[in-house]
Structure 1
Amino acid sequence: MSLLSRMSASAAEHEVAGLVGALLSDPVRPGRGNLFGPEPIQRAASTAVSAGPDVRRVLGGPSGLGTSAARALIPSASEAPAPPAAEAPVPPASARAMWSGMRVVEPRMPVAPTEQVTAGLPVLGGPTGLGTSAARLGGGGPSPGPPPADRPAPPALYCPPAGRDDPALGEVVNERLVVWAEEVGIYPGRLDMVRSANFGRLMMLAHPETDDPDRLLAAAKCGLSEWAVDDHIVDCEVEEPRHELMGQRLAICHSVIDQAQLPLRYAPQLEQVVRKDPVAMALRSALDNLLDYATTTQVRRLRHELAIMFVAYNQEGVWHTAKQTPPVWEYLMHRHENSFIPCMVLVDAIAGYEVPMAEFSDPRVRRAFNLAGTATVLMNDLYSMGKEDPTDFSLPMLIAAEEKCSLQEAVERSVEIHDELMHTYEAEASALALIGSPELRRFLAGTWAWVGGNREWHATSARYASAG
């Protein structure tokens, strides 16, 4: 199910639905509000890294002809020292008491130094991948045992708080988004559901660096048009299911994302088809509007992310038509490609600046950014369990089936995976910020803020409110 379609779904009645209610009501946000320090995100945006000339260089080093030898001298991630780690605050007992029968997953928060920088390239080394966080982040001690029977512990769900909450601003954006949805023709007869989902509030929470409703609306249009692809074509919550036509329709939509250039004789035929497809028209309208606030490079970034998401939608189509249940590894790969990344990639565009392409494209930046994107969508899986049937695909459901464990244990394992991704992003982004431009530092902090705003929206949106 997509973001909007679960609005109309019945509350789940399976054994873990009550746990979802605890997640929804849990006020604890154990992550730091600002990734790089106590100051608000607005101040962090204008703060440059204080570092020497050997460190203050673009991540990839010098570029252009004749610079390969110079680049070869830059130490690789495996050669570089890792920043020290520090302990994160543990959720209070009042929050822990809401979860019954689960062992403690104490968060560890790696903190990179922000005032003093040593020479070299301080990106994280050591083992990588799921299951290696303890080795990388200094968690070598024994894992905590089960809590006393009268003090049950919840999963950590490690995430920062929202950077700001301006309900009036969110309402303005939301109402204008509903008007636009009606104009382009998506969600006919379901505009009340669009309004109730309150995507305007999501964008207000996720982009705390701007209070410009036009910029926030531009982000909201892009997000809603992307989710409309899922609701109209993939999950078929708005239209009659035609999974055998999914690839064809996605190709038509992609022809407006990356405008197809047909010979003059045939171009009008494609245009006629596009104009009859409200989803394609919504995508075109959203991208055209985005050009008023983003550079062509930033829009190109979004086009690239949407193409990746369409690949994942086709993968999901195979699961539907072939009646396949994906293994956990494949589902995690799918969530890497089908996540909130297309929304998150606009962090700098909506805030009114641009990360240099050389830095944004650096594999280490790309890795960290994608870790945050996957974490956000796995968190969505957890929240969504209260509005779906137990047979729907989600990480906890697939873990329970594959590992033959209870749903409660599968939820705990899913939270561990989510938290590992969040801790790894926090550590690697902190290290990357030491050697990148002020724009990269701002983008990494903005990504952290986006994740926190997204979590807050999940906790307050009518999209999930009837869970449990």
Structure 2
Amino acid sequence: MPDPGIPPLQTSLLDLAARFGVHARTDAAADVVGDAQPGLSGLPGPPSVPAPAAATAPVDTSVPDGGPGGDLTARHAEEGAAAASGTTPVLERILRGPSGLGTSGLHLARREEPAAASPEEPEAADEGNAVPGLYHHPVPDPDPVRVEEVSRRIKAWAVDEAQVYPPEWEDQFDGFSVGRYMVACHPDAPTVEHVMIATRLMVAENAVDDCYCEDHGGSPIGLGSRLLLAHTALDPLHTTEEYEPGWVESLRSDAPRRAYRSAMEYFLKEATPSQADRYRHDMARLHLGYLAEAAWAQTEEMPEVWEYLAMRQFNNFRPCPTITDTVGGYELPADLHAQPAMQRVIALAGNATTIVNDLYSYTKELNSPGRHLNLPVVIAEKEGLSDREAYLKAVEVHNDLMHTYEAEAAALAAACPVPSVQRFLRGVAAWVDGNHYWHRTNTYRYSLPDFW
């Protein structure tokens, strides 16, 4: 049978555009509340486009008087008409991103800034340098007051409440700088407690990775059963009264399960049922990726480059940006989140940010015991390139993923001008940028190879 191939992206985008009217009134009302939150007052509203025939509610294109940029309503209407006719002003506006107080971290692509540092002139930074030639968007340092508070709270939770790390790992925990990481990735979080939702989950995910897979006692042997039991802390076991106590006790039995359980309990206080189910699904993807990498380690197999990239689509950061709306204090409706076009954007963002990790952790992993798979290592072996050539090619792979991600995000934003979609896409973009910022500045963990 002939391979039907992948359907054009436009199909899902047009379907999504045809459905956005169902959510327009609710989302517009929610966006008014969201815009009142700290750091979001300058966000522009959605462009106004004629409602499709399938829409059941008109789109509210009104904006507050006196907002930045003058008469936004008229400008949005003009841009919406341009988008419908296939011209590009709306895409230019979306790529340019919002302006105004508190919006510097919410851009899809800031074209007025240099996209990447050249190999001859590495980007200046307070800490660390960007990988030369890596396509990225610089962001300002996160709010130091919020960073300090998140750092204080997460250490109290990890050490005292959930008892995730023993005292002898304190320096490694501090060196991870998870407070700075999460504040940089979630600039639209309305409160510190909203940032803490993501921060606890991040620490819990790293505890599972460290203790089950990596440095602190991890092994591919028996990994499947350990991950399965840990996953029940996120997706609870429904069993008989006789056997439930054994499961409950297992959740207290080791640090990763305690971390998962506690972080999930906090998450569920703020997340809707659909947001929680979405997160569980992405965590199952993550665990599947762990298992694939463990299988290659057991058989001492070096995957093909495309196989490695398939594994990294699952063993990656995707669970983090997918909860950006929960951390932001709003919800992207489940049917909009599930659209193929949105799923493609989220997957591309996750893939690009994960290759960032491969590039910055390259020397750290080479200096660790055993053989660690990362994209430059796989390219070098499978394509017969030198270490330097393979690393530089991995930079190109990242850049291609980033360009594709940004193009698809811009197309989706133009096709579906619903406030929650627009805000979610900005949130994912902020996470992508914040993730690079953390990798670049975390000189405790990372240093660049001498390839330039």
Of 430, 435, 457, 2:438 maps to 457
Of 418, 424, 440, 1:443 maps to 424
Once the two structures are superposed, what CA deviation does each residue of 1:351-386 show, in whole Å capped at 9, x if it has no partner?
111111111000111011100110000011111112
TM-score by length of 1: 0.70
TM-score by length of 2: 0.72
CA contact (8 A) 1:339 1:373 kept: yes
Once the two structures are superposed, what CA deviation does each residue of 1:407-439 show, in whole Å capped at 9, x if it has no partner?
222122111111111111111111111232110
Once residues 401 and 393 of structure 1 are traced to their aligned partners in structure 2, the CA distance between those partners, rounded to angstroms, is 11
CA contact (8 A) 2:305 2:379 kept: yes
**Residue equivalent to 2:183:** 204
Residue identity opposite 2:325 in structure 1: D
Residue 192 of structure 1, CA deviation: 2.2
Residue 318 of structure 1, CA deviation: 0.7
Of 25, 43, 50, 1:52 maps to 50
DSSP 3-state at the match of 2:221:
helix
Once residues 57 and 435 of structure 1 are traced to their aligned partners in structure 2, the CA distance between those partners, rounded to angstroms, is 14
Once residues 54 and 357 of structure 2 are traced to their aligned partners in structure 1, the CA distance between those partners, rounded to angstroms, is 37
**Residue equivalent to 1:232:** 211
CA contact (8 A) 1:387 1:467 kept: no
**Residue equivalent to 1:410:** 390
Matches within 5 A, 1:8-407: 42-43=40-41, 45=43, 47-54=45-52, 91=114, 95-98=118-121, 156-162=133-139, 165-182=142-159, 183-188=161-166, 189-210=168-189, 212-235=191-214, 237-239=215-217, 241-389=218-366, 391-407=371-387
CA contact (8 A) 1:306 1:342 kept: yes
Residue identity opposite 1:450 in structure 2: W
Highest RCO, 1 vs 2 (Cα 8 Å, sep ≥ 6):
1
Residue identity opposite 1:353 in structure 2: Y
Once residues 331 and 185 of structure 1 are traced to their aligned partners in structure 2, the CA distance between those partners, rounded to angstroms, is 34
Once the two structures are superposed, what CA deviation does each residue of 1:195-236 show, in whole Å capped at 9, x if it has no partner?
12111111100001125211111110011101111100011x
Residue 309 of structure 1, CA deviation: 0.6
Once residues 457 and 445 of structure 1 are traced to their aligned partners in structure 2, the CA distance between those partners, rounded to angstroms, is 18
Residue 171 of structure 1, CA deviation: 1.9
Once residues 152 and 247 of structure 2 are traced to their aligned partners in structure 1, the CA distance between those partners, rounded to angstroms, is 32
**Residue equivalent to 2:11:** none
Once residues 369 and 92 of structure 1 are traced to their aligned partners in structure 2, the CA distance between those partners, rounded to angstroms, is 21
Once residues 442 and 364 of structure 1 are traced to their aligned partners in structure 2, the CA distance between those partners, rounded to angstroms, is 16
Residue 271 of structure 1, CA deviation: 1.6
Q: Select the structure that is richer in helix.
A: 2
CA contact (8 A) 1:225 1:283 kept: yes
Pair 1:92–1:300, CA change in 2 (3 A): closer
Once residues 254 and 463 of structure 1 are traced to their aligned partners in structure 2, the CA distance between those partners, rounded to angstroms, is 30
**Residue equivalent to 2:34:** none
Residue 162 of structure 1, CA deviation: 2.3
Once residues 201 and 94 of structure 1 are traced to their aligned partners in structure 2, the CA distance between those partners, rounded to angstroms, is 23
Once residues 452 and 41 of structure 1 are traced to their aligned partners in structure 2, the CA distance between those partners, rounded to angstroms, is 17
User: What are the ranges of 5 or more consecutive residues in structure 1 without an aligned counterpart?
Assistant: 1-39, 59-79, 100-153
**Residue equivalent to 2:15:** none
Stretches of 4+ moved more than 6 A in 1?
A: 84-87
**Residue equivalent to 2:103:** none
Pair 1:332–1:206, CA change in 2 (3 A): same
- CA RMSD, aligned part only? 2.7
Once residues 167 and 450 of structure 1 are traced to their aligned partners in structure 2, the CA distance between those partners, rounded to angstroms, is 18
**Residue equivalent to 2:24:** none
Residue identity opposite 2:327 in structure 1: I
Of 410, 427, 430, 2:407 maps to 427
Identity in percent: 35
Once residues 458 and 203 of structure 1 are traced to their aligned partners in structure 2, the CA distance between those partners, rounded to angstroms, is 12
